[in-house]
Amino acid sequence: MVTEERELETVDLNINMGPQHPSTHGVFRMVLTIDGEVVTDVEPHIGYMHRGGEKLSENMDFRQAIGYQDRTDYLAQFLNEQAYCMAVEKLLGLEVPERSEYIRIILCELNRITSHFMFAGAFGIDLGFFGTSFTYGFREREFIQDIFEEVSGDRLMYGYFRPGGVVWDVPDNFVQRVREVLPKSKQGIKDLDLLLTDNEIFVARSRGVGVISGDDAIDWGLSGPMLRASGVAWDLRKDRSYSIYNRFDFDIPVGDYGDVYDRYLVRMEEMRQSIRIVEQALEQLPDGPILPEKMPRKLRAPASEVYAAVEGARGEYGIYVVSKGGDKPYRLKIRSPSFCNLSALKTMTVGNYVADAVAILGSVDIVLCDVDR
């Protein structure tokens, strides 16, 4: 009797990473197909945090919808509010007073710093720190968070910007408080440098991982630190100089390799540049009104469409508003940087180890509420 020889059939292992997983930064799910420890396929699933903020904004007047901007990218709220207010101002033709512009710039750049501190802390955890980098990042973030609380009265959902300016003037000691905090932030960046930047294991884990070339990055529509790490010097603050950014002297950090380590370095350098901008803005902060003199009580927009975008902490945060007249937008679309940056995940991840997949996802620095809106 002839025994039938059969080969054992093997299949690749599917791993469901998320929606509840410590390193997916929220409720994000990716189905990894792995061959041993090597990732052969990635299938991202998003939408767990979809709340329909865009649709809800259609039923609110222009001021009410500001609250929904805080709830998209909840680590860079001021930047979102700035984009939204810029879009509405463009639509209505409002002029923002000087003082409000400066206050906005200061708060936006401080917010960028807090967001990047958060990134550095969480990224350290993704690479295996047992919470140490997180507490380092969080302490520095907290100092700035206190200022935000003093200014807006809220720790998370600020709702401080208004079309035409800001809702109320900053406290009297605002300039002094910010001046006190900036050296602390500088020291915090140095501390994180000592802990992470030149740590040999950190470097070994992040260099040459998740490389994306400049051309690929443009094709995928990446923006922000992701794009600049790949060697493309594209920064909306310079290239589409909005607000009053052309009055400040600052540099764009650009990476040469486009790997995870470069993305980290670019963000660390951006924090230093943001501090430079804030220092200059504090010098120049003028007195004056915070809202235009002829501010309409009810904001009525003409039938038109506008797009306004800011260089958010994660990339280009854009608002596209279609108005058919009246006090509500006909359609409001948010171009969120996390969503576009996340789209390149598969390109970067396939062929790497499972541990690298976590590092790469961390380096994209997504906020899931921003991805799903």
Q: Contact residues for other proteins (CB under 8 A)?
A: 13-16, 21-23, 37, 86, 89-90, 96, 124-132, 134-136, 139, 198-205, 207, 233-235, 238-243, 246, 251-257, 261-262, 265-266, 269, 353-356, 358
Minimum gap (Å) between residue 52 Cβ and other proteins: 29
Q: How far is the CB of 326 from other proteins (least distance, A)?
A: 23
Q: How far is the CB of 56 from other proteins (least distance, A)?
A: 26
Nearest distance from residue 207's CB to other proteins, in Å?
Answer: 7
Tokens of 277: 């901008």
Q: What strand order describes the sheet that includes 38-45?
A: 13-17, 29-35, 38-45
Nearer to other proteins, 20 or 173 (CB): 20
Length of the chain: 373
- The string of DSSP letters for 47-110 reads -TT---HHHHHTTS-TTTTHHHHHTTSTTSHHHHHHHHHHHHHHHHTPPPPHHHHHHHHHHHHH
Nearer to other proteins, 3 or 246 (CB): 246
- Least distance in angstroms from the C-beta of 105 to other proteins: 12
- Distance from first CA to last CA of the chain, Å, rounded? 66
Tokens describing residue 2: 């002839």
Burial class (CB in 10 A: 0-12, 13-18, 19+), 152: buried
Cβ proximity to other proteins: between 71 and 104 the closer is: 104
- With 0-12 / 13-18 / 19 or more C-beta atoms within 10 angstroms meaning exposed / middle / buried, residue 121 is buried
Which CB, 157 or 355, lies closer to other proteins?
Answer: 355
Phi/psi for 266 (5° steps) reads -60, -40
DSSP type of residue 246: G
